[in-house]
Amino acid sequence: MISFSVSDLISVVGVVIAFTALLLTVMVIYNNRRHTRYDDDRHRIELELMRRSIESQMYGLNEKLLATEDRWRDVNHLLISSQSRQPDAFEPSKQVVPSVFLSSAGISPDDLKIERDLVFVLTPFHPTYKKQFEVVASVCNGLGLRAMRGDEEFVPGDVFPHILRLITRARIVVAIIDGRNPNVFYELGIAHALGKPAILIAPTPEDVPFDIRTKRLVLFQSLDELQEKLKDELARVVVASEQPIQPVAEARTGVPELLPEARVLLKEASLDPQGAIILARYIGGTTLQTNGKNLIPSNERREVARWEQALELLTARGLVVARGHKGEIYEVTNTGYQVADMIDL
């Protein structure tokens, strides 16, 4: 029969107590950590919900701030100006020219190859813009193109190289600009710098008669209107990107083909001492002034529209350039003077 001394029993009891204490300590630590993780997860969820709520309020406030055409022009004058300077056609290209900026962001030579069916959509990652993206994707699909946005693929770590890679590979870029999202604007600037054809889309408030005319800017009041307008604009860009660019000075016909009003406007502007054109809209009508003359003979809307189209054509051809941020002041470019010298009225 095995017998235990008192000291042995005390040792065994001590070991049991120590083990029990250790087990309890581990359980307490585990429970505390579990609660900590729960609190962290709950806190993270609360912050995410708060962020989305604040973003929604900001987007709603932004809509109110841009409720009139004048406000919209004031806020977006740089975008309007940059769009008006885009060429009518884009050099067909198979890849983007490498640069230090691209290589420093991890863009490899393979990433420089343009995917002819890829349309990259610059959009805030917020549910507010989901339906707009779905319309863009639907239009692209109907034209044999493939629309992508930056959050469709899971990318661990820094997402910027992934976004930059998609911009670089894209044939065309579509930007949803009404959210005033800084990431979208930064990415749009990169797209412009890389020479990408860019189409800007933004809703306008209902019952507000916007009259903003510039290249590749799609304003809409309903998703159906967005679909119709974007389809036409995308089709034009696809066709334009396949056309070789021929400088005006090298055109075989000498003087590029211009509307009669555009020829008169360019010639008169070239005779103006400052080479300036002023488009002024008043409650009582519209004037188009240059060389001391108002070229719009009447305020009949059809007549005004013809001269506005002439100004748009000269701007699109790079013969005049917008100087005022509200689209009111234009100046003749060097190419414009060269063409004007060849025009006989």
Helix (H, G, I), strand (E, B) or coil at 339: helix
Rg of the chain on CA atoms, in Å = 31
Mean pLDDT value of segment 85-113: 76
Higher pLDDT, 295 or 155: 295
Q: How, if at all, do strands 329-332 and 276-282 pair? A: antiparallel
pLDDT (0 to 100) of residue 207:
45
pTM: 0.53
Helix (H, G, I), strand (E, B) or coil at 323: coil
195: left (phi over 0), alpha (psi -120 to 50) or beta: left
Could you give the CA distance from residue 123 to residue 61 in angstroms, rounded to a whole number?
Answer: 18
Residue-wise pLDDT for 107-140, tens only, equals 888 888 889 889 999 998 777 888 999 999 999 9
Task: Give the residues across from 279 on adjacent strands.
Answer: 288
pLDDT, the chain, mean:
78
Band the pLDDT of 41: cuts 50, 70, 90.
low
Q: Which of 105, 309, 64, 280 is nearest to 190 (CA)?
A: 105
| Single-letter code of the amino acid located at 205 | P
Q: Is the pLDDT assigned to residue 195 strictly greater than 90?
A: no
Residue-wise pLDDT for 152-161, tens only, equals 777 777 888 9
Higher pLDDT, 126 or 223: 223
Could you give the CA distance from residue 145 to residue 304 in angstroms, rounded to a whole number?
Answer: 37
Higher pLDDT, 77 or 329: 329
* Angle between helical axes of 260-271 and 301-316 (0-180°, round to 10): 70
Q: Is the pLDDT assigned to residue 79 strictly greater than 90?
A: no
165's CB contacts (< 8 A; 6+ apart) are 107, 111
Given a contact cutoff of 8 angstroms between Cβ atoms, the answer to whether 325 and 81 are in contact is: yes
pLDDT (0 to 100) of residue 272:
93
Other C-beta atoms lying within 10 Å of the C-beta of residue 166:
22
Tokens 């630590």, residue located: 29
Higher pLDDT, 76 or 219: 219
Mean pLDDT value of segment 19-36: 76
Mean pLDDT value of segment 214-234: 85
pLDDT (0 to 100) of residue 8:
62
pLDDT (0 to 100) of residue 82:
65
